[in-house]
């Protein structure tokens, strides 16, 4: 091994050994009951720069506006609705007057089908491991109940925010079936959920609508003569849950707004002393748009034997009320993150990104990671701990993905080389996803590093480089300046060029927009990767894995060089493109599909969904 493209054997082996030591340091105990760290349930700090959904309160509530929407057809039946938006990126400190980059984007606004929920004994987190420092909390398992409640709350907020649009007729309603009164059929198989004896009639009606075994609430909008559903719409048909209260209540109360429903949820969490599970369930709900009409399996509820709290936080030092208040205030930000389906996926993929790894060494970096992941029992919580230890900042998103079993598909796709990069999502969560956002180094001599060449091509939007590459790995080597594109040659000696997120705009139909600028806040304390040293150090020979496979490096190298040389390669690089890693024939004739299709044209099968998403982002 070792030529103009492939690394020398000694370099590959060095990176492989260093990578193995790094990834193995994230291993935790295989103990099923090993609790999660507290920072793994922090969802609020992750969305510090995320714009609120549809501008949140940026537009006056009494002002009628009209969002620029598009209807997307689907081969699976009812289509989806997307909303147009754009992000603006600074490219210069002012010493060179390069204009900002404006990147168009479409986010999911409404769907045509609900996601079905069923309960399973084999679903992830059926045995809740707990959280360090919260030994008196979350002793039962109410993840499925909380999940169903959060889906309603997000949908109610969706109705409130989208209801400002004069082009939409939004409504939150209860459906008439078996929500009213107790369910009598197969009652012996129903799981009783205690919401407390002091729940009011409206509160009981809401819980019945959220939990009972029929499609008992709907969040809808009528647009252009078609009816669509909230992206977080669920159907609990067959879940087998029933609300238990004293007395018989048969009310026809109106569905509560999001803040009232949030108060009902707060009372439930206080009653059952639920804290960590509340945030994990909310994180899981963020993936509902990913499912697009599929089915999700959640754990059966399990009641705690501990005596429940009557009022307040039960004298605890853990502020359940403050947690729910924070989630309520950040709800619109969570909704934006959730509606960016490709972006949410890209955040999980960032766990495997390393800005120092070049494209031809990706296999040496990632092969050890998947060798270790393969060795972890799928029935233990060690896989969650491993991913959390690697990237603590997004640990809560991994818990949500594991709860909904989406993590399995994400990991499979990363293993196959189908990663995702989404610049807005990276900026919103302040996570590193791509070499593109790193600083451009100063030129010293007649050559420019190829990764800096890529950055200049993108920030100058030269010809076919107006869209960012979806491959996160930087190209190796350097290019003689005389062989670079004109835009690179003109700006190679400039100082102060970079790519920095500035603002997000929701596009309106009257040539206006709702703008959310980047918040000038102090950088959040970055939770570093957690290295664990309480295990015997493993060695490569402990694993049965093809550590020397080059498939990931081959795909990453071919991908980024196709983007870099989309207009043709210089003559000095001809020896590279004659090697078997490259297949550049026909690249000039390939037309990149619409970036925004990746968020809306998805199949019911999660595997097909991920493959389609990835293919539609290819340049």
Given a cut of 70, whether residue 585 has pLDDT beyond it is no
Q: Who wins on pLDDT, 600 or 117?
A: 117
How confident is the model at residue 529, as a pLDDT?
A: 60
Q: How confident is the model at residue 590 (pLDDT cuts 50, 70, 90)?
A: very low
Task: For residues 117 and 401, give the distance between their C-alpha atoms in angstroms, rounded to a whole number.
Answer: 15
Task: For residues 281 and 142, give the distance between their C-alpha atoms in angstroms, rounded to a whole number.
Answer: 9
Q: How confident is the model at residue 251 (pLDDT cuts 50, 70, 90)?
A: low
How confident is the model at residue 216, as a pLDDT?
A: 84
Q: Who wins on pLDDT, 486 or 523?
A: 486
How confident is the model at residue 597, as a pLDDT?
A: 40
Given a cut of 80, whether residue 427 has pLDDT beyond it is yes
Give the pLDDT confidence of 442-454 residue by residue, as tens digits. Answer: 888 899 999 999 9
How confident is the model at residue 612, as a pLDDT?
A: 53
How confident is the model at residue 557, as a pLDDT?
A: 95
Please write down the HEC assignment for all residues of 206-243. Answer: HHHHHHCCCCCEEEEEEECCEEEECCCCEECCCCCEEE
How confident is the model at residue 520, as a pLDDT?
A: 73
Given a cut of 70, whether residue 301 has pLDDT beyond it is yes
Give the pLDDT confidence of 492-551 residue by residue, as tens digits. Answer: 998 889 999 999 999 999 999 999 998 876 555 455 565 554 456 778 888 888 999 999
Q: Who wins on pLDDT, 308 or 554?
A: 554
How confident is the model at residue 23, as a pLDDT?
A: 96
How confident is the model at residue 190, as a pLDDT?
A: 79
What's the distance, CA 362 to chain centroid?
Answer: 23
Q: Who wins on pLDDT, 527 or 290?
A: 290
What are the residues facing 108 on neighbouring strands?
82
Provide the greatest CA pair distance for the chain. Answer: 84
Q: Who wins on pLDDT, 532 or 348?
A: 348
Give the pLDDT confidence of 408-422 residue by residue, as tens digits. Answer: 999 999 999 999 999
Q: How confident is the model at residue 592 (pLDDT cuts 50, 70, 90)?
A: very low
Instruction: Name the average pLDDT for the chain.
Output: 86
Give the pLDDT confidence of 6-32 residue by residue, as tens digits. Answer: 999 999 999 999 999 999 999 876 555
SS3 (DSSP) at 580: coil
Given a cut of 80, whether residue 206 has pLDDT beyond it is yes
Q: How confident is the model at residue 262 (pLDDT cuts 50, 70, 90)?
A: very high
Task: For residues 506 and 512, give the distance between their C-alpha atoms in angstroms, rounded to a whole number.
Answer: 9
How confident is the model at residue 544, as a pLDDT?
A: 83
Decide: residue 217, CB within 10 A, 0-12 exposed, 13-18 middle, 19+ buried.
buried
Please give the share of the chain, as a percent, with pLDDT higher than 90. Answer: 63
Give 560's Cβ-side CA count (13 Å radius): 29
What are the residues facing 107 on neighbouring strands?
83
Q: How confident is the model at residue 613 (pLDDT cuts 50, 70, 90)?
A: low
How confident is the model at residue 532, as a pLDDT?
A: 55
Task: For residues 230 and 81, give the distance between their C-alpha atoms in angstroms, rounded to a whole number.
Answer: 10
Q: Dihedral sign for Cα 208, 283, 277, 268, please.
A: negative
Q: How confident is the model at residue 313 (pLDDT cuts 50, 70, 90)?
A: very low
């Amino acid at each position: 091994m070792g030529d103009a493209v492939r690394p020398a054997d000694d370099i590959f082996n060095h990176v492989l050994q260093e990578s193995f030591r790094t990834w193995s340091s994230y291993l935790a105990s295989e103990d099923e009951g090993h609790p999660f760290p507290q920072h793994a349930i922090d969802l609020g700090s992750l969305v510090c720069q995320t714009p609120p959904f549809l501008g949140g309160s940026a537009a006056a509530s009494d002002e009628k506006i009209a969002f620029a929407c598009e209807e997307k057809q689907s081969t699976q039946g009812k289509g989806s609705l997307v909303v147009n938006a754009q992000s603006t990126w600074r490219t210069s400190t002012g010493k060179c007057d390069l204009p900002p980059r404006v990147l168009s984007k479409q986010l999911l606004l409404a769907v045509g089908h609900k996601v079905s929920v069923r309960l399973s004994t084999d679903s992830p987190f059926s045995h809740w491991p707990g959280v360090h420092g919260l030994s008196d909390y979350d002793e039962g398992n109410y993840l499925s109940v909380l999940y169903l409640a959060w889906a309603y709350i997000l949908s109610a907020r969706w109705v409130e925010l989208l209801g400002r649009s004069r082009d939409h007729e939004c409504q939150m309603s209860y459906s008439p079936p078996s929500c009213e009164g107790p369910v009598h059929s197969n009652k012996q198989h129903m799981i009783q959920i205690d919401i407390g004896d002091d729940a009011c009639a409206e509160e009981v009606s809401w819980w019945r609508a959220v939990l009972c075994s029929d499609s008992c609430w709907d969040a809808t909008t009528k647009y252009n003569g078609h009816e669509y559903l909230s992206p977080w719409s669920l159907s609990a048909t067959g879940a087998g849950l029933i609300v238990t209260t004293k007395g018989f209540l048969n009310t026809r109360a109106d569905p509560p707004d999001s803040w009232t429903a949030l108060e009902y949820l707060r009372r439930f969490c206080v009653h059952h002393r639920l804290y960590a599970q509340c945030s994990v369930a909310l994180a899981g709900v963020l993936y509902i748009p990913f499912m697009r009409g599929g089915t999700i399996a959640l754990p059966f509820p399990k009641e705690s034997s501990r005596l429940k709290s009557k009022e307040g936080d039960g004298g605890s030092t853990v502020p359940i009320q403050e947690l729910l208040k924070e989630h309520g205030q950040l709800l619109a930000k969570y909704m934006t993150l959730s509606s960016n389906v490709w972006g949410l996926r890209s955040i999980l993929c960032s766990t495997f990104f390393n800005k120092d790894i070049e494209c031809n060494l990706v296999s040496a970096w990632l092969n050890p990671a998947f060798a270790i992941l393969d060795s972890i029992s799928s029935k233990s919580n060690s896989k969650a701990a491993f991913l959390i230890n690697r990237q603590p900042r997004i640990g809560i998103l991994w818990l949500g993905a594991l709860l909904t079993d989406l993590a399995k598909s994400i990991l499979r796709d990363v293993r196959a080389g189908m990663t995702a990069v989404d610049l807005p999502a990276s900026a919103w969560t302040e996570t590193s996803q791509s070499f593109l956002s790193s600083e451009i180094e100063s030129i010293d001599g007649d050559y420019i590093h190829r990764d800096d060449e890529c950055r200049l091509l993108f920030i100058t939007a030269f010809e076919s480089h107006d869209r960012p590459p979806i491959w996160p790995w930087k190209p190796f080597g350097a290019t003689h300046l005389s062989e670079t594109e004109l835009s690179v040659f003109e700006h190679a000696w400039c100082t102060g060029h970079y790519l920095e997120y500035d603002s997000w705009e929701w596009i309106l139909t009257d040539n206006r927009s709702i703008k959310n600028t980047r918040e000038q806040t102090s950088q959040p304390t970055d939770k570093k990767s957690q290295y664990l040293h309480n295990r015997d150090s493993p060695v490569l020979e402990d694993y049965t894995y093809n550590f020397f496979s080059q498939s990931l490096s081959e795909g990453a190298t071919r991908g980024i060089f196709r983007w870099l040389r989309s207009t043709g390669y210089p003559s000095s690089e001809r020896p590279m493109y004659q090697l078997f890693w490259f297949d550049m024939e026909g690249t000039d004739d390939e037309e990149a599909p619409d970036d925004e299709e990746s968020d809306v044209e998805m199949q019911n099968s999660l595997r097909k969904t991920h493959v389609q998403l990835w293919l539609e982002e290819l340049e």
